[in-house]
Amino acid sequence: MTTGSRYIFVTGGVVSSLGKGLASAALGALLIARGFSVRLVKLDPYLNVDPGTMSPHQHGEVFVTEDGAETDLDLGHYERFTGRAACRGDNVTTGQIYTQVLAAERRGDYLGATVQVIPHITDAIKRFIAEKEGSADFVICEIGGTVGDIECLPFLEAIRQFGNEVGPARALFTHVTLLPYIASAGELKTKPTQHSVKELMSVGIRPGVLLARADRSIAAEELRKISLFCNIEPGRVIPALDVGTIYEVPLTYHACGLDREVLRYFGLNAPAPDLSTWADIVRRAKAPEGEVRIAIVGKYTDVRDSYKSLYEALDHGGIASNVAVRAQMVDPEGDVEAQLEGADGVLVPGGFGARGVESKITAARWARQKRVPYFGICYGMQVAVIEAARALGGIPDATSSELGPGGTPIVGLMTEWEKGGAAVRRAAGGDKGGTMRLGAYPAVLAPGSLAARVYGRAEISERHRHRYEVNIAYRGALERAGLVFSGLSPDGRLPEVAERPDHPWFIGVQFHPELTSKPFAPHPLFTSFIAAAVAQGRLV
């Protein structure tokens, strides 16, 4: 390919939650299948420096990258669809841009100039985008929020300028909108899309490709109408219909000509993509041979996005075993044991704070006693260890210092750990943002352990996001309680994996394996957990 990256900007209109992230990720997958290299980045208009301090209730899961950035959950989609690990430089927020500009202002870098949104903020945004130059054939750049939001404006202005500077031969604007179905008229309506494109044009951006989301097929007449009113070539109004599984999106976009039109826009030729892997994933996801019921004891029972990667990783495990995973959220405020009844597997995911913790401990006990597969992730490992210490380790008041004073804190605040050969230190009362043990750290697995068998190797590297850690000083008592620390940090100080050899499948991990699972490469812990749940289902 000729020098210089091509930039594809993805904006959204009409309503939020249209799946821009998914659309960007699927387009990335298609371009990769055509033999190009792709980098996906996300510009987020909110003022938080990163989503690490935002409630998953409001903003969905916080996705952690290899290099320890707390980022938007769309980066999870990008990784799951492209297989390429995202990094800190793939996500920026208004908060980060302003922090940068204000620091420069205080240093006196602007030499007496009045610091303004245009050009200083927009320049900082353009610099962020331009940093990706040459790193891939295509840079797909998604802009969070909805066109028309005040917060979006500096980003739209920046990408408009950027598009002008690199020229239309190297920049394409794509816009994702919604065609709502109006039951009384029996029609999909194009007017909101027309208005949204008008809004975009009013800030100087003319979309070259439009992805029209709809819950039913769009008549050729309606597509023609959009093309005419929105000034977009007929073949470039792509119907983006709801699908049964998100992994079908690359296939449906391809069938509607998205990748063909994108390449035609840039004047590029490429062989037809081989999408057989995606077709196979969809076939398996749509025709499972059975079902397993996984009870999830978490905090956010109502918002699926709060555990986005977790649900996806469970589905990947299901695809590997040809079963559908029926994930059932357990209400920690209700009767936990009654809700667990009939579960083929119990999963306690990551979490923070004291709310619902006793219910999680109850779930770990129930799974241990009933010999039902148990998978504890981060907080889920810590509660399983507390449960064992209380019931079997002779420490009836075992607790975590995260839960407040009192009791024996067998899980304590980490004040020091090692990163790349250097000690990282944290004070108890320090900042909350970005100060956890974040990103990929290695661990060494005990030979012959379940963990070592599941991974098929002795050394692993997994992503972390936690402030507390099981205190290795209690190892003796915990081993007497039947737990084995089958994974440790290389210096032997931080327990990374705990398991119960007296149980069919009981593992707690201090890290987040769900973040790296892919539909075409399910994480081995999820594959093994679902396989154990399938075996459990056969027992009852």
The set of catalytic residues is 378, 512, 514
- Count residues near ligand GLN (CB under 6 A): 10
Determine, following the binding rule CB under 6 A, whether residue 441 of this chain makes contact with ligand GLN. Answer: no
Task: State which residue, 229 or 352, has the beta carbon closest to ligand GLN.
Answer: 352
Check: CB of residue 421 under 8 Å from CB of residue 399. no
Q: x/- site string to ligand GLN, residues 388 to 417, per CB under 6 A?
A: --------------x---------------
Least Å distance, CB 466 to ligand GLN, is: 3
Cβ within 8 Å of residue 460, ≥6 positions away: 442, 443, 445, 487
CA distances from 408 to 81, 153, 391, 392, 405 (A): 44, 52, 14, 15, 9
Stretch 443-472 residues interacting with ligand GLN (CB under 6 A): 465-468
Least Å distance, CB 330 to ligand GLN, is: 16
Check: CB of residue 436 under 8 Å from CB of residue 426. no
Cβ within 8 Å of residue 315, ≥6 positions away: 245, 285, 325, 519
| Alpha-carbon span 343 to 454, nearest angstrom | 22
Determine, following the binding rule CB under 6 A, whether residue 72 of this chain makes contact with ligand GLN. Answer: no
Task: State which residue, 12 or 351, has the beta carbon closest to ligand GLN.
Answer: 351
Angle at 459 between CA 455 and CA 460, to 5 degrees: 65
Selected from 46, 98, 110, 352, the binder of ligand GLN by CB under 6 A is 352
Q: How many CB atoms lie within 10 A of CB 300?
A: 17
Query: What string of DSSP letters covers 48-95?
Result: SSSGGGS-HHHH-PPEE-TT--EE-THHHHHHHHH-PPP-GGGEEEHH
CA atoms within 13 A on the CB side of 50: 21
Determine, following the binding rule CB under 6 A, whether residue 360 of this chain makes contact with ligand GLN. Answer: no
Determine, following the binding rule CB under 6 A, whether residue 379 of this chain makes contact with ligand GLN. Answer: yes
Task: State which residue, 42 or 437, has the beta carbon closest to ligand GLN.
Answer: 437
Least Å distance, CB 362 to ligand GLN, is: 18
Least Å distance, CB 406 to ligand GLN, is: 18
Determine, following the binding rule CB under 6 A, whether residue 351 of this chain makes contact with ligand GLN. Answer: yes
Determine, following the binding rule CB under 6 A, whether residue 350 of this chain makes contact with ligand GLN. Answer: yes
Which amino acid does the sequence have at 31? Answer: L
Least Å distance, CB 64 to ligand GLN, is: 9
The residue assigned the tokens 């800190």 is: 88
Task: State which residue, 237 or 295, has the beta carbon closest to ligand GLN.
Answer: 295
Determine, following the binding rule CB under 6 A, whether residue 513 of this chain makes contact with ligand GLN. Answer: no
Could you tell me which of 308, 10, 250 has the C-alpha nearest to residue 144? 10
Task: State which residue, 387 or 402, has the beta carbon closest to ligand GLN.
Answer: 402
Q: x/- site string to ligand GLN, residues 281 to 320, per CB under 6 A?
A: ----------------------------------------
Identify the bridge partners of residue 176 per DSSP, sorted by sequence position: 12, 211
The torsion region of residue 41 among left (phi > 0), alpha (psi -120 to 50) and beta comes to: beta
Selected from 343, 378, 383, 395, the binder of ligand GLN by CB under 6 A is 378
Task: State which residue, 278 or 379, has the beta carbon closest to ligand GLN.
Answer: 379
Least Å distance, CB 351 to ligand GLN, is: 5
In the chain, what's the furthest Cα-to-Cα distance? 75
Give the residues lining the site for ligand GLN (CB under 6 A). 350-352, 378-379, 402, 465-468
